[in-house]
Amino acid sequence: MKLRVFAGIVSLSSVLLILSCNKSKEESAPDIPGFRLVVVGQSLIKIDPRKSWDNPFGSVEPILKSADVCFTNFEMAVDDGSCGVADYYTVVIGEPKLGDDRPGNTSRPHAVKGDVMEFLSSIHFNLMSLVNNHAWDLGDCGVKATIAAADTLGVTHAGTGISVEEAISPAYLTVEGLTIALIAATTSHDERDLLLGTVNGVWTGHQEDWDRNIAAVEEAAQNADFIIYYHHFQIDDDDVNGQSEDGHLAIGMTAKEWQYDFAKAIIDAGASMYLGHGHRGFDGMEIYNGRLLFRQLGGFAYQGLSDEIGHYDDDYAWWGLLANMTIRNGYVRSIEFVPLELDEGDEYRADYNKEDFLTRRGFSEVAKGSLAGDILQRFVNLSKNYGTHIRIKDERAYLKN
């Protein structure tokens, strides 16, 4: 069996937490190579950024390329030309609509060309979740096309497949002689009867969905040195109260309570970390049984349909975080949080029409100055709610002693 329990989390210079009940065994174990892991929020990119900017994500790319593994959620469906999308469909504004009776999540899908995934791969995203509330925007055809694009680029991916068994299967990536497992799932506004055959979904009140995911984590724990569980979580209390038509059943608790119970169960089953996405803004970080628990990590890139400046401000859609981690002997040894500004585009809004403007906005760069401080302070405050103490230094954040 591979080692799968966190012994502790250490800052760049000193021990932050001693969380293992078996520390002496860890100290006597032979030192094995580690790896650098970067995780960011979801990537919702409609048009290849290189078509609008000379150096998109220029301040972020060096951080990504210094890591061995970079993870994001691919929040789109690839259109390979065979999924029935008209040639004149304009993805950044979602027009023309494909019909109100279109099954799945939306009638205005995020049907992107394969060069969007190629761009993300080029800046070193080599591990991706393909499952979310837009994975089925183009039906089974889009699921297959997105998988094919990832396979062609050599991107390790999880969460979708030609069957539910394939969708739930852990994906494995080997770096520095170590095996990293990824399991990915969605709990969102999707029709269970339509999606269950091609995506790994966890609908509330369906014990079989819960059990499948626990079993997948337990399988990964037998085969991997480090296990990432990604969860696209985007439902509200109406869903878990049985008022949804998507297949969620009443469970007698709030959506947030259900997510927390599920995240703890996933970690207890052996996951090294739980990463939640779905909301555009980030939440704080919790240490649960020595392992990282992110309910919401926010966004890395966001090209929504609205071109109104200020439309998404209440959701902090334009503030992001990059978590830069060092993993050694199976444990997280350091975490540095980098503040990100997702470009809302107010400084050039007047220069472009809606379509051209939307192709340029929403791409993140490293935040500086007072904005960096504001982003990190929000993260510090939110993390305190979960008993996690973060320190800020030189426009970065670290776990606090």
Q: What is the 3-state secondary structure (H, E, C) of 60-100?
A: CHHHHHCCCEEEEEECCEECCCCCCCCCCCECCCCECCCCC
pLDDT at 244: 81
The three-class DSSP label of residue 37 is strand
Contacts of 3 (CB under 8 A, 6+ apart): 225, 329, 330
Q: Give the mean pLDDT of 49-68.
A: 97
For residues 238 and 342, state if they share a domain.
Answer: no
CB of 325 within 8 A of CB of 38? yes
Residue type, 99: G
Q: Do 125 and 248 share a structural domain? A: yes
In a domain, 83, yes or no: no
Predicted local distance difference test score (pLDDT) of residue 97: 75
Give me the sheet containing 178-188, strands edge to edge: 171-175, 178-188, 226-234, 273-277, 291-294, 285-288
**Which of 285, 287, 305 lies closest to 295, judged by CA?**
285
How many domains would you assign to the chain?
2
Domain-embedded: residue 398: yes
Spacing of C-alpha 214 from chain mean position: 19
Q: Do residues 20 and 6 make contact, with C-beta atoms less than 8 angstroms apart? A: yes
- How far, in Å, are 69, 79, 322 from residue 393 at the CA level? 25, 43, 15
Return all residues near 219 (Cβ < 8 A) that are at least 6 apart.
170
Mean pLDDT over the full length of the chain: 89
Q: Are residues 207 and 288 in the same domain?
A: no
Q: Are residues 294 and 212 in the same domain?
A: no
For the chain, how far is it from start to end, CA to CA, in angstroms? 32
Of 203, 237, 262, which closes a domain?
Answer: 262
pLDDT band at 94 (very low <50, low <70, confident <90, very high): confident
Burial of 398 (0-12, 13-18, 19+ CB in 10 A): middle
In a domain, 274, yes or no: no
| Domain match, 122 and 248 both | yes
Range of 324's domain?
A: 1-67+279-401
- Tell whether the model's pLDDT for residue 13 goes beyond 70: no
Question: Last residue of a domain, which of 232, 262, 292?
Answer: 262
User: What number is the average pLDDT over the span 367-380?
Assistant: 97
Q: Are residues 294 and 241 in the same domain?
A: no
Cis (ω within 30 of 0) for the bond into 109? no
Cβ–Cβ < 8 Å for 129, 115: no
Q: pLDDT value at position 107?
A: 57
Boundary-marking domain end, from 201, 234, 262: 262
Please determine, for residue 16, whether its predicted confidence score (pLDDT) is greater than 80: no
CA dist 221 → 216, 261, 267, 379 (Å): 9, 20, 11, 30
Q: Report the run of H or E that residue 389 belongs to, with start and end.
A: none
Q: Are residues 359 and 286 in the same domain?
A: yes
Segment 269-276 shows an average pLDDT of 97
Q: What pLDDT was estimated at residue 370?
A: 97
Which two tokens mark 37?
């892991």
| Range name among 1-10, 39-48, 114-123, 276-285 with the lowest pLDDT average | 1-10
Domain contains 63 = yes
Does 373 reside within a domain? yes
